[in-house]
Amino acid sequence: MSHRMPGVYIVSDSIGETAEMVVRAAASQFNSGKIEIKRIPYVTDEESIVEIINQAAEERAIIAYTLVIEELARFLKTKAQEASVLTVDLLGPMVETLQLASNVEPKREPGLLRKVDEIYFRRVEAIEFAVRYDDGKDARGIPLADIVLIGVSRTSKTPLSMYLAHKRIKVANVPLVPEVPPPEELYSVEKGRLIGLTIQPDLLCAIRRERLKALGLMSDANYASPERIAHELEFAHQIMRKLGCPIIDVSNKAVEETASKILEIYYRRLSHV
């Protein structure tokens, strides 16, 4: 004798993804796991709950719910009992247990899990973006970036790009080298999105010499010579002036300090958009 699985109404004050995953996992334990699911998201009023209960009663369906607003959850449970509709509270018991164990009052705010997930995925996306468009690898990233950093080698462009990526900001960075014309895409970047980085020549000289030593190369190479550095910085300043972008001196500044200045410029632009 075959038994028909009851339908399940998923009721949530968010989108109901979590509840649907739980229901499908449970249904998989019964033969083929086929089950009719009707997901009803963003339920925030008693009138909607009454309508759902009436429909479930007609179809002899079950209601699985994730309602973080306590009053709504209680209302649903009471009305469902009156209509002889079976219900499963998928969230309440866990929230109550965590509250008892931690002695912390829950926020009772719908959609928090999705907000956390969105923040996480935006951060991952920004990190991947920073890696893909690091050091001028691909000029196509310039118009896609939230912020574009330009400057000579060893002005903290990459560390800044990664730091800002962890704040969910997509950053492309482009090195300025006298022998290489800057990408044309830079001239189309809106004001406030393009930021130049500079550094004091003597400090840059010391940083580059240490870099060469770390690589096992001669510390007196042209890359770290005062003449070469002066030439590069002058070239970079000419380009930055031509582009009309703000310039930040990163000399003796922590990445966090420079990033704070960059974000100040960036958000000031957004406030005027």
Show binding-site residues for ADP.
151-158
Give the Cα separation of 222 and 229 in Å (integer): 9
**Phi-psi label, residue 12: left if phi above 0, alpha if psi -120 to 50, beta otherwise:** beta
Which of 69, 38, 67, 35 is closest to 55 using CA atoms?
Answer: 38
Q: Is the CB of residue 65 less than 8 Å from the CB of residue 41?
A: no
Residues composing the chain:
273
Give the Cα separation of 182 and 164 in Å (integer): 23
- From the annotation, which residues make up the binding site? 151-158
DSSP 91: S
Report in angstroms the alpha-carbon separations of 205 from 202, 210, 232, 251.
5, 9, 12, 12
Give the Cα separation of 72 and 139 in Å (integer): 52
**Residue 172 bridge partners (DSSP):** 148
